[in-house]
Chains A and B, each alone.
Chain A
Amino acid sequence: MSVIAGFLAAIGRPVLAMLAAFGRVTLFALAVLSHVVRPPFYFREFGTAIMQIGWYSLPVVGMTALFTGGALALQIYAGGSRFNAESVVPSIVAIGMARELGPVLGGLMVAARVASSIAAEIGTMKVTEQVDALVTLSTNPLKYLVAPRILAAVLVVPVLVGVGDSIGIMGGWLVGITRLGFNSSVYIKNTVDFLEFWDVGSGLVKGAVFGFIVALMGCYFGLNSGRGAQGVGEATKGAVVAASVLILAANYLLTGVFFSA
């Protein structure tokens, strides 16, 4: 009996811990959302967050999209040739980039770059008492540190995804015309003809959700950072892991919602 109880307890403990963590993150997210829509608004912090999350992520998102688009074209061409369907390369590259690879890989790259830097920055502020100093200066850390980053991420990650989609499709086009023997104008025509508005729109919506997840995880882990360098390191690692897993889970759910027949 005690063996069974021990076994059940071993399963129950992590489940309870996970549910408690989920509850804490949910309450944190609700508190942050309430601050996003209530003044005062910190426009300077918002502008800085736009630059850090959006502008400085462009190179890594662009490079990721470029090589992914090229690899995708090669894969689809190789796979399509088994069914004499090489001509689908432009449309599949475009749909694949816009619906899935653009938002997911873009989201993951932003998670790696931005969630880590937000968690490290806010975590360092926490352990050096800068967050406490904000409170004593009558400034709510959720409003000053978190809300601008969340809002900026929700607005700029879809833009990054859109840019990534374009670069990814361009990567496929480059490979298509230089290595796979496609005519440039035919490739572009096939891309444009088969790509529908919702293919791109769904990816942008995913981008907004992924941006929210990235900034939320960065801020949550940063504000709950443990003491010292080790605490900040753990917070940074936790933010990236949680953001990445949640992006993949959210992507599955959103794809189900958007595209299940």
Chain B
Amino acid sequence: MIELSGVTKAFGANQVLRGVDLSLPKGQSMVIIGGSGTGKSVLLKCVLGLVSPDAGVIAVDGQDVTRGDRDALLARFGMLFQGGALFDSMRVWENVAFRLRQGPQALPRAEARSVAVEKLRRVGLKPSVADLFPAELSGGMQKRVGLARAIAAEPEIIFFDEPTTGLDPIMAGVINELIREIVEEMGVTAMTITHDMTSVRAIADRVAMLHDGLIRWTGPVGEMDAAPDPYLQQFIHGRADGPIESVR
């Protein structure tokens, strides 16, 4: 279970998170929605320790993420970055197998490659892709490779940062399906941030809306459409008019 309590974060005068309280039960898929610049990525990075919160507590299975063995904690996570964040200088299979080749339990090269090819197959990529470099792949293929890297070490928790941004609707649908399948198949706890409502409906068990540095609404995805919160309704229906200020 991931629990956030009173998490705040400011960058200079810009107060991004103002006291976020959020709870994600084990084995569930939560999608955090909210407009651009509302702090969704910062929230995710706080949980991973990439950004230090100014105040508040973030706990994974009761353990404060800012204390204890950080490597052991991170070993439980997989992450799909918005732009893929694949290492340019490495071949696709080396990207996927990166974690498998680190640490005292590092797999031999041939074995790590074999696992990488298997994970690539799981996300719908042929073994021939393994020896290409990331720059030789399309955006959709890069996302798939990023997904394969996120699941390569069989993590307990996976974060997806804007998984469908920059993809055409069909490829976005494919990625959404893959994420849903993988989350169910592996039984992982998943946290996704997006403002793509199609993704929300495809991926989420629960939804949380972040606005103005606070969680405005959270609940099961099935209750989202009927929720009375005007901010949530404006966002999910993409209306220009409403309590959320929009720039015209």
Residue of B nearest to A42 (CB): B102
- A133 and B87 form a contact (CB under 8 A): yes
- A133 and B75 form a contact (CB under 8 A): no
Tally of contact residues, A, Cβ under 8 A:
13
The answer to whether B99 has its CB under 8 Å from any CB of chain A is yes
| A-B interface, 6 closest residue pairs, ranked by CB to CB distance from nearest | A133-B85, A129-B85, A136-B79, A137-B99, A129-B81, A138-B74
- A138 and B103 form a contact (CB under 8 A): yes
Which residues of the other chain, A, contact B49 by a CB distance below 8 angstroms?
Answer: 135
The answer to whether A132 has its CB under 8 Å from any CB of chain B is yes
Of A40, A124, A128, A135, which one neighbours B74 at CB under 8 angstroms?
A: A135
Residue of B nearest to A136 (CB): B79
Chain B interface size band reads 20 to 34
The answer to whether B241 has its CB under 8 Å from any CB of chain A is no
Min CB gap A197→B, angstroms: 41
- What are 14 residue pairs bridging A and B, where the CB atoms are less than 8 Å apart in the complex? A129-B83, A130-B85, A132-B50, A132-B81, A133-B86, A135-B49, A135-B74, A136-B50, A137-B74, A137-B102, A137-B149, A138-B75, A138-B99, A139-B98
Min CB gap A199→B, angstroms: 40
Given the contacts A136-B77, A137-B102, A130 and B88 also touching, CB distance less than 8 Å: yes
Contacts from B to A (Cβ < 8 Å): 45, 48-50, 71, 74-75, 77-79, 81-83, 85-88, 98-99, 102-103, 149
- 6 additional A-B residue pairs with CB within 8 Å, beyond A128-B85, A133-B79, A139-B102: A124-B88, A130-B87, A133-B85, A136-B77, A138-B75, A138-B99
Given the contacts A136-B48, A136-B77, A138-B71, A128 and B99 also touching, CB distance less than 8 Å: no
Which residues of the other chain, B, contact A132 by a CB distance below 8 angstroms?
Answer: 45, 50, 81, 85
Min CB gap B2→A, angstroms: 15
Which residues of the other chain, A, contact B77 by a CB distance below 8 angstroms?
Answer: 136
Which residues of the other chain, B, contact A133 by a CB distance below 8 angstroms?
Answer: 79, 81, 85-87
Min CB gap B55→A, angstroms: 22
- A135 and B102 form a contact (CB under 8 A): no
Min CB gap B30→A, angstroms: 18
User: Most A CB atoms within 10 A — which of B49, B81, B85?
Assistant: B85
Alpha-carbon distance A241/B83, docked complex (angstroms): 31
For window 134-148 of A, CB contacts with B under 8 Å fall at: 135-139
Alpha-carbon distance A133/B50, docked complex (angstroms): 10
Which residues of the other chain, A, contact B78 by a CB distance below 8 angstroms?
Answer: 136
Alpha-carbon distance A118/B99, docked complex (angstroms): 24
For window 105-164 of A, CB contacts with B under 8 Å fall at: 124-125, 128-130, 132-133, 135-139
Min CB gap A170→B, angstroms: 36
- B75 and A128 form a contact (CB under 8 A): no
